[in-house]
Amino acid sequence: IIMNKSINIFVLNWNGLGVIDECLSSLKKISYHNTKIILIDNGSEDNSVTFISKKYPKVKVLELKQNFGFAEGNNMGFKSIDKADYSIFINNDTIVDSGFVEPLINTLEADKKIMQVSPKIFYNHQKDTIWYAGGKVNLSFGYIRHRGIRKKDSQIFSIPSETDYATGCCICMRSNDFDEIGRFDNSFPMYCEDVDLSLRFKDFGGKVYYVPDSKIWHKVSFSIGGEFSINKWKRKVLGKLKLIIKHLNPLMVLLAFPLLILFIIIELTLNLFIHRFR
């Protein structure tokens, strides 16, 4: 176990007063000690900064004047502080297992070709139900999906494995790798900047890994109205379109478009149905 490597843990916050206490309280109890927690506040208007400064004086708070979004907010936080050996970016609506850091760092230390890792992520309201156990991407079909989503945890999800993308909900990288790849692409509206980053690492010859020994729990999409909100669906569609245009050649984009429209319609129908009967 590597315990001497320095780690910056970046927590992006926007109006997260309802969730940030549990998140920071769990981060305070982690067993890996050579860490610094940096709270990046994206122009919150709910007094969460005042609350954090009073209750968690050791947390470094970077106050941004407005909401710069996921990609640029995290980039600004990363650039605002001396680089650690490793950087972890984590959502403010998560609760971490006290030992979640070590398996991530050990995986990166064991293989220099592994450039990104993400933990096993559960739904917070259903502690044994998977939200993320790796991810699958097929841009030709407009298909991006978490492996294991909404399934009960089982042995099949306990095997470390290479994966198509690491989720931005909790992602760990060597700080130099993140810097050299060009950080998050801030032109993404909110979704798919994590998939874009993983695809760029893969193009660079890197590997992306799912690390099930690291565990966290997620209050899904707290900041934008929940898992099935129309706002979330809209942002995901825009992100997916941008991802396809950026990473597929123009001819493949034309071929992929009809399938993408079909997936968009199916997703919208499901979201509207779930929204209506919740």
| Range 265-268, long-range pairs (CB < 8 A, 24+ positions) | 267/233, 267/236, 267/237, 268/233
User: Which pLDDT score, from 0 to 100, does residue 139 have?
Assistant: 84
Rg (Cα) of the chain, in Å, rounded? Answer: 18
Is the distance from CB of 95 to CB of 23 less than 8 angstroms? yes
Cα–Cα distance for residue pair 273/278, rounded to 1 Å: 9
Cα–Cα distance for residue pair 215/131, rounded to 1 Å: 11
Side chain identity, residue 5: K
User: Which pLDDT score, from 0 to 100, does residue 246 have?
Assistant: 83
Is the distance from CB of 126 to CB of 217 less than 8 angstroms? no
165 φ, ψ (degrees, to nearest 5): -155, 155
Q: How far is C-alpha 223 from the chain's CA centre? A: 14
Angstrom CA distances, 116 to 100, 105, 113, 127, 173, stand at: 15, 10, 9, 25, 5
Cα–Cα distance for residue pair 185/156, rounded to 1 Å: 33
Q: Mapping DSSP to helix (H, G, I), strand (E, B) and coil, where does residue 269 land?
A: helix
Sign for the CA dihedral angle at 214, 36, 33, 93 comes to negative
Per the rule left: phi > 0, alpha: psi between -120 and 50, beta: everything else, 154 is beta
Q: For the purposes of burial, counting CB atoms within 10 Å of the CB of 36, is it exposed (0-12), middle (13-18) or buried (19 or more)? A: middle
User: Which pLDDT score, from 0 to 100, does residue 258 have?
Assistant: 73
Note the pLDDT tens digit of each residue in 124-183: 999 999 999 999 998 877 788 999 999 999 999 999 999 999 999 999 999 999 999 999
Tell me the CB-side half-sphere exposure of residue 150, using CA atoms within 13 A. 2
User: Which pLDDT score, from 0 to 100, does residue 242 have?
Assistant: 82
- SS3 letters across 77-143: HHHCCCCCCEEEEEECCEEECCCCHHHHHHHHHHCCCEEEEEEEEEECCCCCEEEECCEEEEHHHCE
- SS3 letters across 174-222: EHHHHHHCCCCCCCCCCCCHHHHHHHHHHHCCCEEEEEEEEEEEECCCH
Q: Packing angle between helix 20-28 and helix 48-55, nearest 10 degrees?
A: 30
* Per-residue pLDDT tens listing for the chain (278 residues): 567 899 999 999 999 999 999 999 999 999 999 999 999 999 999 999 999 999 999 999 999 999 999 999 999 999 999 999 999 999 999 999 999 999 999 999 999 999 999 999 999 999 999 999 999 998 877 788 999 999 999 999 999 999 999 999 999 999 999 999 999 999 986 779 999 999 999 999 999 999 999 999 999 855 544 555 556 656 676 777 788 788 777 666 666 677 677 776 676 676 556 555 55
